[in-house]
Structure 1
């Protein structure tokens, strides 16, 4: 049986020690779902997955080819990602109550 990406996922220490999800819980599984072509399930697992991938793409492109407004684009994408991550975390925690 070949090894799969799921075999190398790291456990969330915050969830193990304190029993609650952290802001990054679900990102590994969402990335795995993207690689398997399950795009809607990936979004439901971790809503910021696509904006994080876009941010990583822009940072990677800027690393090799200097883009004129890269810093502004990266800053805007970072703020958008922070807002999505925090708001989805708050929504997830409110559903548990």
Structure 2
């Protein structure tokens, strides 16, 4: 167990209701990514890479005020929403 894993928050949805939430696996995915396990991170939470890209674009857009940065961020938001929703439904099938 890495030092990062010692500070992970438990999923309250899973604890209370016994089912995963759409965000379940994100912390473990980040932990795997920090450890260098890219494939494991993707398998744990497929939206991790598009979320990271979106956050990088967000920071750059805040700093440099890209002309169409808000449209790119909106596109990534909907892409992430699709990936997360598809993955969440796929868990139960």
State the TM-score, normalizing by the size of structure 2.
Answer: 0.96
Matches within 5 A, 1:51-62: 51-62=50-61
Matches within 5 A, 1:23-42: 23-42=22-41
Cα RMSD over matched residues?
Answer: 0.9
**What is the CA deviation profile of residues 49-83 of structure 1, one whole-angstrom value per residue up to 9, with x for unaligned ones?**
00000011111111111111100000000000000
Which one scores higher on RCO, CA 8 angstroms, separation ≥ 6?
Answer: 2
- Runs ≥4 in structure 1, deviation > 4 angstroms? none
State the TM-score, normalizing by the size of structure 1.
Answer: 0.92
User: Which shows bigger deviation, 47-56 or 60-69?
Assistant: 60-69
2: CA distance, partners of 1:86 / 1:11 = 21
1: CA distance, partners of 2:7 / 2:64 = 32
Q: How many residues align?
A: 92
Gapped regions of structure 1 (runs ≥ 5): none
Residue of structure 1 equivalent to 2:69: 70
Gapped regions of structure 2 (runs ≥ 5): none
